[in-house]
Homo-oligomer: A and B are copies of this chain.
Amino acid sequence: MLLPVSTWQDIEAWLKKSRTILIPIGSMEQHGPNGFIGTDALCPEIIARHAEAQAPDDVLVGPTFSVGCAQHHLGFPGTITLRPTTMIAAMADWTESLMRHGFERIYWLNGHGGNVATIQAAFSEIHSRRSFDPRGEDNRPGLELKLRNWWDFSPVMQLCNQLYPVGHGSHATASEVSVTYFGYPDRARPEVEMSPKIAPNGKIGDAVQYRRDFPDGRIGSDPTQSNAEDGGKIVEAAAKAVLEEVKRFAA
């Protein structure tokens, strides 16, 4: 079920059989010369919706948390970031809203490596509020929060390595660009050329340093290899893995 296009009665019915929801979470940040600024939000959204399309009774997909922590990309126009403390506040509000309805397990399907730290900090913040409740935390519904990066499933990693043995990279990767081309084929940019073909590697600091060290925004990747067909395969593999993991998580 897709929460944004469901009615409240649909969710009421869902809660009679499940306490679990999946939230795609991403970022709005530059992804090099042929990658979309929304790549990191679009990838988990595409994968989650693909999973839901195959098994609508097995997973409830919430709205996409589409702007995350992208300070280091602010040197590139179009990037939008939340401060980590704002992101923590917003994730806590989403969680506390869902808890009020009876949700007890929230599975965050993440599309941005730069979000990982703040998502984990948000989990700790939410749990701290519960621990500090002066009435104790034993006689209340539980709460489990889980973070999963879509690329971390081993079948997905293997597939990406097989598709792009050279130039997969670590930002504006060949695989993530393919996933978005699968989702938005009309927006694909096969014509874009890049130089050097494979972007340099290096460490990530703040916005000024990033723009200086990675002038077109990519790190270690050659996303001219990207295409919708590859994207479809990756989405297929990731959606399958998500469905399996969500079922275990909900159990």
Contact = CB atoms under 8 A, between A and B. Distances in A.
Contact of A6 (B8, B67, B78, B143): B78
Given A15-B77, A36-B6, A100-B132, A88 B85 contact: yes
A9 to B, nearest CB: 6
Given A121-B84, A131-B207, A7 B34 contact: yes
A80 B67 CA distance: 16
Contacts of A90: 67, 82, 86, 89-90
B5 A187 contact: yes
Interface stretch (A122-130, A158-166, A229-237): A122-130
Interface string A72-114: 1010111111111110111001101111111000000000001
Interface residues of A, number: 91
B69 A66 contact: no
B33 A62 contact: no
B28 A77 contact: no
Contacts of A76: 8
Nearest to A29: B8
A41 B3 CA distance: 12
> Which of A7, A38, A64 has the most B CB atoms < 10 Å from its CB?
A7
A244 to B, nearest CB: 17
Q: Nearest 7 A-B pairs (CB), nearest first?
A: A4-B38, A11-B78, A117-B120, A8-B30, A84-B121, A11-B77, A127-B206
Interface of A: 3-12, 14-15, 28, 30-38, 41-42, 62-64, 66-67, 69, 71-72, 74, 76-86, 88-90, 93-94, 96-102, 114, 116-122, 124-125, 127-135, 137-138, 140, 142-144, 180, 184, 187, 189, 192, 205-208, 217
